[in-house]
Chain A
């Protein structure tokens, strides 16, 4: 298993990234939109999409929320 961190990817930051607080505040809205149409969610909330791509903890929360509403 290759579990090292890619330095280039790790150091890349997206200026659209809204951070954990804003992403968490809107995660329920983003998740419902994403469940219906992932591309529409990414287009409407690019800052949240950028954040979830970079933040492991928020991404894990999002995956869990998505799984719960998709049950």
Chain B
């Protein structure tokens, strides 16, 4: 696949030896650190991160992105610019670092047992309108307790009820994003099927 000149230069320099390669590594680290700072800052307000935390997380993300880029360089197929491919590792590493950081801010999230009294509020079901949602809620709770596996219930509770970010949960459980997403995907599909069968949700949107 034909690549642009800048990409070709990156690949040549990173695959070189001696001073050329060392200089390319230094340039790559600068590039990844700038990207990690930009990305961490982009997310900082929402997560209420301090300036020191932003800089620390950006350095960690850049260092791990650097390792990933170099380890996977032979897998780069030239389907995009080299820098776009490399930035992909940066955004993912920023997500991972922020997922780990969540537990330093919220060490007490228990990850066991669904606090059902909190679930109506999660879905915006107000006490004033309980008559409208009570029956649906009973069916929903029954489905969660009887149709989901223990693992699906644990994931549902952490992400939906406790609001644990998916990346924080994958760090805690030592798994990957796709595995958790798939568990939740299957749980959502099961729960929807029950609510559709009982007439509480439409067949298709």
Contacts and interface: CB of A to CB of B under 8 A. Distances in A.
A60 interface: yes
A40 interface: no
A6 interface: yes
A29 B80 contact: yes
Interface in A20-41: 20-21, 24, 27-29, 31-32
B178 A21 contact: yes
Given A20-B177, A58-B177, A68-B90, A11 B84 contact: no
Contacts of A57: 95, 165-167, 177
B77 to A, nearest CB: 9
Interface in B39-92: 39, 42-43, 79-81, 83-85, 87-88, 90-92
A67 B38 contact: yes
Contacts of A43: none
Interface residues of B, number: 41
A27 B88 contact: yes
Contacts of B122: 4-5
Contacts of A29: 79-80
B186 to A, nearest CB: 9
B35 interface: yes
A55 B177 CA distance: 10
Contact of B121 (A4, A56, A58, A60): A4
B129 interface: no
B195 interface: yes
Nearest to B166: A57
A17 B201 contact: no
Given A20-B181, A57-B166, A69-B84, A11 B191 contact: yes
A47 interface: no
Contacts of A67: 38-39, 42
Nearest to B46: A60
Contacts of B79: 28-29
B94 interface: yes
Interface of B: 35, 38-39, 42-43, 79-81, 83-85, 87-88, 90-92, 94-95, 121-124, 140, 160, 165-167, 176-178, 181-182, 185, 188-189, 191-192, 195, 201-202, 205
6 contacts: A5-B123, A21-B176, A24-B177, A65-B84, A67-B38, A68-B90
